[in-house]
Amino acid sequence: MNNGDSTAIFSTEAGFIALNGSVKIQILEFLKNGSKSFDEIVNHTGKAKATISVHLKDLRSCSLLNEQVDPDDRRKKIYSLKCHYVACSQEPGLKHYLDMLDLISSTDFPKFGSLLCVFHAVQYGFLANGINCDPIMRNIGRDIGKSFAHNLKSTEPDELFEEMEEFWEKNDIGKFSVLSKEPLKLEVHDFFGCRSLPIKTKVLCTFVKGVFEGVFSDKFAIDCTMENLSSCNHNCDPCILIMK
């Protein structure tokens, strides 16, 4: 979120909760990529430990997050989301949406491809209208991943990864490479043209995770979650995904 007046809406078992307050929203956004320790949250926010303790207590009282003992060190606590991020204030999504519309109306439009530009405009359009589309795009990504899997013959990991890499590049989906197999860790580049566009704020991270989850759940007959270890930035660096 970009300022202290930011508002975000979260869905819990008890209903919807609207939050005003950049620190609380910052904590919940940080936890979207997976569980974090108290010290990690402190380091990420740059706030004093006492301040973060108060915010975490407030968020727990609203049933927005879970607190658990760290299995590796019982003296420490780890925190995870107990809610879904539904909506947020319009900035900066509105700016990116308008920039995308300007690109579509410019003479540069043909070189990027109409479907690619429209696809990204829809993503920014959700944000511009205050809707967090991450959960929806992740579910769509899983469905698309399962559909992709029907074009892949291999079920052995090494053969499947090689076949997937060829399929991804052949169909302009993007590129990825396997960094490790135990645990499975992937480096994903330029997924659906995200790097080629002049607007460098990523919106496809959860969609990317969903696609890989869909392929692997279909081919390996397992329930899996891909967690993003990298941070979105304006350089549009590769996503580092790890299977959980």
Please say if the pLDDT value at position 202 is more than 80: no
Beta partners for residue 126, in sequence order: none
Q: What pLDDT does residue 60 have?
A: 92
Q: Which residues, including other chains, have CB under 8 Å from residue 220's CB and lie 6 or more apart?
A: 155, 157
Give the whole-angstrom CA distance, residue 79 versus residue 242: 19
Phi, psi of 75 (to 5 degrees): -80, -15
Residue 236: per-residue pLDDT: 62
3-state helix, strand, coil in the chain (%, to 5): 45, 25, 30
The winner for highest mean pLDDT among 76-80, 116-120, 238-242 is 76-80
Spell out the CATH class of 7-86: mainly alpha
Least confident of 109-113, 140-144, 187-191: 109-113
* Tokens found for residue 44: 């990420």
**pLDDT range class, residue 232, cuts 50, 70, 90:** low
| CA 43/CA 142 separation, integer angstroms | 32
Q: What percent of the chain stands above pLDDT 70?
A: 91
Mean pLDDT of the chain: 84
Confidence class of residue 234 from pLDDT cuts 50, 70 and 90?
A: low
User: Six-digit token pair at 222?
Assistant: 């397992």
Within 10 Å of residue 71's Cβ, how many Cβ atoms?
A: 8
For the cut 50, the answer to whether the pLDDT of residue 3 exceeds it is no
Residue ranges of domains in the chain? 7-86, 90-132, 134-243
Please, what is the end-to-end C-alpha distance for the chain in angstroms? Answer: 27
For the ranges 6-15, 56-65, 186-195, 196-205, which has the lowest average pLDDT?
196-205
pTM to 2 decimals?
0.65
Top-level CATH class of 134-243?
A: alpha beta
What is the mean predicted confidence (pLDDT) over 48-65? Answer: 93
